[in-house]
Amino acid sequence: MLQKLSISVLSCLFALGLGACGKGDEFSMTTSTPTTPPSKSANIAEVAEIVKIGSVSPLTGPQAHLGKDNESGVRMAIDEYNQAGVTIGGKKIQFKLLSEDDQTDPKTATIVAQKLVDEGVVGVIGHLNSGTSIPASKIYSDAGIPQISPSATAVTYTNQGFKTAMRVMTNDAQQGKVLGEFAVNVLKGKKIAIIDDRTAYGQGLADEVAKVAQAAGSQVVAREFTTDRSTDFMAILTAIKGKSPDVLFFGGMEPQAGPMVKQMKMLGLKAQYLGGDGMQMAEFVQIAGADGEGVYASSPGNPLEKMPGGLEFSKKFTAKYGKIQLYAPYAYDATNVLIEAMKKADSTVPAKFLPVLATLSYSGITGPIAFDEKGDIKGGAVTLYRVQKGAWVPVP
Amino acid sequence: MNAILSKLRADRRLLWIAYLGLVLLLTTMPFLTEMGLGRSWVRILDFVLLYMMLALGLNIVVGYAGLLDLGYVGFYAVGAYLYALLASPHFGLHLPFWLLLPMGALIAGLFGVLLGAPTLRLRGDYLAIVTLGFGEIIRVFLNNLNAPINLTNGPQGVNLIDPISVNGFSFGGMHQVFGLNFPSTYSYYYLFLVLTLLIIFVSIRLEDSRIGRAWAAIREDEVAAEAMGIRTRNVKLLAFAMGASFGGVSGGLFAAFQGFVSPESFNLMESVMILCMIVLGGMGNIAGVILGAVLLTTLPEALRYLGPLQEFLFGEVLVDPSNLRMLVFGLALIIIMIFRPAGLLPSSRRKRELQPEPEVAAQEQATVYDSKR
Amino acid sequence: MDIFLQQLVNGLVLGSVYALVALGYTMVYGILELINFAHGEVTMVGALVSLAAIGAILGMGLPLPGVVIVLLGLLVAMAVCAALGFLIERVAYRPLRNAPRLAPLITAIGVSIVLQNVAMLIWGKQYIPFPAILPIERYEFLGATITNLQIFIVLLSFCAMGGLVLLINRTRLGRAMRATAQAPQVASLMGVNVNSIISLTFILGSMLAAVAGVMVSAYYGLAHYYMGFLLGLKAFTAAVLGGIGNVGGAMLGGLLLGIIESLGASYIGPLTGGVLGSHYQDAFAFFVLILVLVFRPSGLMGERVAERP
């Protein structure tokens, strides 16, 4: 028995050692990379100090397209600053993006958060989802590193009392209020049906809309549910059709919203379709095709084309990374805010520029950005859009 | 390696030195890891131990008793949520961990019996789909029990879970011991290490016990086992309950360690990964299972360095590392299995089953000879 | 009443989609007793390849009707998937034919991870819309609605099942397949080339997967590199429900699963007084599955067979 124990423990040890050595080599390579920068940018890097900024989003799995979009937004902002040249504290600064994949998994989120902290990032743009932003926020808070999420909407994220957790996106309560009131006051919805995708995002938003709509005197006649993997909604739509609502609100993302609107037409369900920022994207229009015509969805901030620099951003972004999926402008803004705070504080030390960041007012391409005492975006304008002739057009 | 082991067996002094070295290494592991690889790897080290516990638990069901279980993560979830709900502001309850961990083991064990009971007559792949369904049912309920009464807080998850604390020593905070900094990942490392060793010990004892032999008999031939007077029903249920209780404890530890649980952490892929650890390492063999857990937990993290590696080799990043990472991981699964179909460290029984006849005979002779000596 | 009828129609269509995937699953299982976890991923590849082909044909601007273009896309997808199925079996399963039962399960998982990520590298991370080139007509009867595409999918799945049953029971190839399934050694003694029969089974199964993939993306209007996972899982459930390895069982299991999900989503809420709702649809489906297996441990149409030694 003792021998068996020794064998198994020894082999465990062996395995651990093996793993450790293998990685050790690789790691020493990674730590050596900054000191031997690629030859392309050698002339800048020779004099510049390297400051690392992290970006975390799912780069594999069902939301990989959104994750890549966020990363590209951050990358574009960083490239622009590097091209223009930034001097902070008397030194030339070269920003370096460290991008990690959290696979929408809370456990992986904490691992990559720790990894970024280890590698000495001064700020993190991310994560994409609330479910990953929340567990990671504790690690950034312990390390005193600011975390700006471009897209997490759960109220809890900024409610934990962490000074480092912020977002440039309106939270569920802010957006749900606008959507609920729009459904009742503008769309004149007396009977409202609500579907959510049982994710932290979809459920949070849908509950808020239900609450606001009921408070405004409308009746929630059906509350149905789906998942963020489903493509077939005929059953719940049929059940909803039986209640003949005027408005159907969906809390979820575009891979579900697109097929859902097609199936509504297939069934002859005539309710006005309404959604949140998760479906206000070009792909929804493509997937839904003609059936998407007349659908409403909200998006935080102001329309890009009305903002100074907004059109220019979308042109440059599209040329470089392809179509904007969804949150790239917010990731871009979040990065800009972070770097502007460093410039204003004249320091790249998180402890020094974090207080500046908390009180900064910045005019971004998605709207004016300033944080309240919790880290939520102040004011938090929400714009409603409508699909007209195959494109999202802001509702005046 | 075998030569070293047999030498160790022969010489007691060498064995003790090896033990001493092992103890030293295990105690200094987090320091070595942080120095060599950085602090994030200490967290990964903690997860390695956590997955070892999970894999050893599943090994009882799959490796020992031969019952294919694809819903193991359900028990992990039960343990995690039990801890989360009873030690967080969600209900305002803050029960101590020494009550919650055994409770997690007990309740997860009960769930194990609950799963085992209707599936006693099922075999192989039918059992696999039922256990898979069971795991999904648990996840669906956790994800949706926020209305009409808010039990689990639904998809939002439970936040601000109490860290484990003993006599005012909180595992969650930073501590100073002998002038050394002890972040929470270090404290949890030692806690997880103790529990992992305990589970390894229990696993070894179980394997050679009456029950262990009964499990082996059922695994090899259920009908024959029953004919030999083994109460297959009770013994199978016991396997489910034991495996599940290990999962429940791991779940509680996970909740305390992370401070946040949500149903996303308990999806089907997690079950599949734990099963992969066992099969890849060597089913039924504790050393193999441990190796499998180490490999499959560290590999995806190690592959994150593909980006810097490319930079080092070619001067720039040619292929996005996030695109390559899981691809390489999948390829590794295929290649390892093709070259080591019985796992990296197969159990001795399985090795015998797989080897061609003359070698088996020779080996059996050798073992007979060994036992006489 | 019209709601109930509509739910039956919904379930029938959804079930036919599941059945199309489950047929390929069950074929491979029937012959190798291997859960081919990568089958869902082959379906995904079929969908994406056909979309790429359709896109290319549309790009050429030929004056072809939509149905013809989709058919051409389908042919390309079937060819690619056939090659893929052959390759998967050769690389990942054949070396493990005499290995412990769980070893090929792990390579299957490896293959599905690899296929997903290769597809992601080729087609990118975004959802790809299916071009609206098929003429969709809606028909109404007794208050329920059905479209021509839905009718086509239901008919197609029945035809695929019928074709398979005929193939397996009435042809020389089918006899060889049955022989291989029962006793590979004996079959090879009788002059059956077991390896090529197994390859052929994989090729056929993968072609069916391609058909299923094209139908799914045409019906739901999109394709994505991650779509195979859930589809494969549902198909596996359907195949087991019906009795895995049995072609008729896969069809029955698929249809039943579809109908259970539809009726479940619609009626769990009212039946439990609103305590449970359509979010328990998946849990309900699995619950029914467990219940069925408790009373029929080998599925609805599976025969009780002794385990292979």
pLDDT digits (tens, 9 = 90+) for A175-192: 999 999 999 999 999 999
Find the mean pLDDT for residues B90-101.
93
Residue B90 CB neighbour total at 10 angstroms: 18
Tokens of residue C14, six digits: 């959804």
Best probe of the A interface among C2, C9, C125, by most A CBs < 10 A, is C125
Of B62, B268, B327, the CB nearest to C114: B327
Percent of chain A with pLDDT over 70: 88
CB under 8 Å to B7, separation ≥6 — which residues? B14
Find the mean pLDDT for residues B183-209.
93
CB under 8 Å to C267, separation ≥6 — which residues? none
What SS3 class is residue A221? strand
pLDDT over 90 (residue B79): yes
Task: Give residue A235's pLDDT.
Answer: 93
Cα–Cα distances in angstroms (integers) from residue A177 to residues A186, A380, B156, B260, in the given order = 13, 11, 19, 27
Tell me which of B41 and B307 has the higher pLDDT: B41
Find the mean pLDDT for residues A360-374.
91
Using an 8 Å CB-CB cutoff, list chain A residues near C266.
235-236, 238-239
Using an 8 Å CB-CB cutoff, list chain C residues near A258.
127, 129, 221-222
Using an 8 Å CB-CB cutoff, list chain B residues near A9.
22, 197, 200
Task: Give residue A383's pLDDT.
Answer: 92
CB under 8 Å to B158, separation ≥6 — which residues? B81, B84, B85, B88, B90, B152, B255, B260, B261, B262
Find the mean pLDDT for residues A192-206.
93
Q: Among the residues of chain C, which ranges form H helices?
A: 2-32, 39-60, 66-88, 102-123, 148-170, 172-182, 184-189, 194-220, 227-242, 247-271, 281-295
Least confident stretch, B6-20, B40-54, C121-135, C286-300: B6-20
Cα–Cα distances in angstroms (integers) from residue A172 to residues A148, A201, A382, B58, B98, in the given order = 16, 8, 11, 39, 38
CA distance B330 to chain C (A): 4
**Residue B11 confidence class, pLDDT cut points 50, 70, 90:** confident
pLDDT over 50 (residue C309): no
Find the mean pLDDT for residues B291-314.
88
Chain C, residues 214-243, CB within 8 A of chain A, namely: 216, 220-222, 224, 226-227, 229-230
DSSP-derived secondary structure for B87-105: EETTTTEE--HHHHHHHHH
**Residue B40 confidence class, pLDDT cut points 50, 70, 90:** confident
Task: Give residue B363's pLDDT.
Answer: 53
Return the sign of the alpha-carbon dihedral for residues A363, A365, A371, A372: positive
CA distance A342 to chain B (A): 26
Q: Is residue B222 within 8 Å of B210, Cβ to Cβ?
A: no
Find the mean pLDDT for residues B150-166.
90
Chain B, residues 17-56, CB within 8 A of chain A, namely: 18-19, 22, 25-26, 29, 32-33, 36-41, 43-44, 47-48, 52
What is the Cα–Cα distance from C36 to B174, expressed in whole angstroms?
48
Q: Do A198 and B345 touch (CB under 8 A)?
A: no
Q: Give the residue on C whose Cα is nearest the Cα of A59.
A: C125
**Residue B350 confidence class, pLDDT cut points 50, 70, 90:** low
Best probe of the A interface among B24, B37, B158, B201, by most A CBs < 10 A, is B37
pLDDT over 70 (residue C295): yes
Find the mean pLDDT for residues C242-261.
93
Of C10, C17, C132, the CB nearest to A238: C10
Find the mean pLDDT for residues A103-107.
90
Q: Give the residue on C whose Cα is nearest the Cα of A289.
A: C132
**Residue B351 confidence class, pLDDT cut points 50, 70, 90:** low
Q: Phi then psi for B19, rounded to 5 degrees?
A: -60, -45
| C141 DSSP assignment | E
CB pairs under 8 A between A and B: 174
Using an 8 Å CB-CB cutoff, list chain B residues near A118.
38-40
Q: Give the residue on A whose Cα is nearest the Cα of B267.
A: A105
A318/C contact by beta carbon, under 8 A: no
Find the mean pLDDT for residues C35-64.
93
Task: Give residue C304's pLDDT.
Answer: 54
pLDDT over 50 (residue C121): yes
Interval C66-119: pLDDT, tens: 899 999 999 999 999 999 999 999 999 999 988 888 889 889 999 999 999 999
**For chain A, what is the mean pLDDT?**
86
Return the sign of the alpha-carbon dihedral for residues C274, C280, C283, C285: positive
CB under 8 Å to C113, separation ≥6 — which residues? B326, B327, B329, B330, B333
Find the mean pLDDT for residues C240-256.
92
Q: Do B129 and C289 touch (CB under 8 A)?
A: yes
Of C91, C104, C286, the CB nearest to B136: C286
CB under 8 Å to A167, separation ≥6 — which residues? A148, A149, A150, A151, A152, A153, A157, A158, A375, A376, A377
pLDDT over 80 (residue B7): no
C133/A contact by beta carbon, under 8 A: no
Q: Do A14 and B1 touch (CB under 8 A)?
A: yes
List the one residue out of C222, C4, C277 whose CA is nearest residue A263: C222
**Residue B352 confidence class, pLDDT cut points 50, 70, 90:** low
Find the mean pLDDT for residues C163-176.
93
Q: Residue B265 corresponds to which amino acid?
A: S
Of A17, A99, A204, the CB nearest to B156: A204
Using an 8 Å CB-CB cutoff, list chain B residues near A104.
264
pLDDT over 60 (residue C305): no
Of B32, B159, B301, the CB nearest to A156: B159
Find the mean pLDDT for residues B61-66.
92
pLDDT over 80 (residue B319): no
Chains touching C by CB (3 or more pairs below 8 Å) = A, B
Q: Give the residue on B whose Cα is nearest the Cα of A38.
A: B315
Cα–Cα distances in angstroms (integers) from residue A143 to residues A120, A122, A349, B57, B214, in the given order = 10, 10, 12, 35, 52
Task: Give residue A387's pLDDT.
Answer: 95
**Residue A53 confidence class, pLDDT cut points 50, 70, 90:** very high
Interval A239-248: pLDDT, tens: 999 999 999 9
Q: Is residue C265 within 8 Å of C79, Cβ to Cβ?
A: no
Q: Give the residue on A whose Cα is nearest the Cα of C277.
A: A224
List the one residue out of C292, C212, C287, C215 whose CA is nearest residue C249: C292
Q: Do A23 and B305 touch (CB under 8 A)?
A: yes
The torsion angle over the Cα atoms of residues C268, A130, C231 and A100, rounded to 10 degrees, is -170
Strands A121-125 and A147-149: parallel
What is the Cα–Cα distance from B75 to B266, expressed in whole angstroms?
9
- pTM value is 0.88
Task: Give residue A28's pLDDT.
Answer: 35
Find the mean pLDDT for residues C199-206.
95
What SS3 class is residue C9? helix
What is the Cα–Cα distance from A130 to A160, expressed in whole angstroms?
13
Cis amide linkage into residue A62, ω under 30° from 0? no
Task: Give residue C1's pLDDT.
Answer: 60
List the one residue out of C220, C48, C3 whose CA is nearest residue A261: C220
B225/C contact by beta carbon, under 8 A: no
Using an 8 Å CB-CB cutoff, list chain B residues near C29.
125
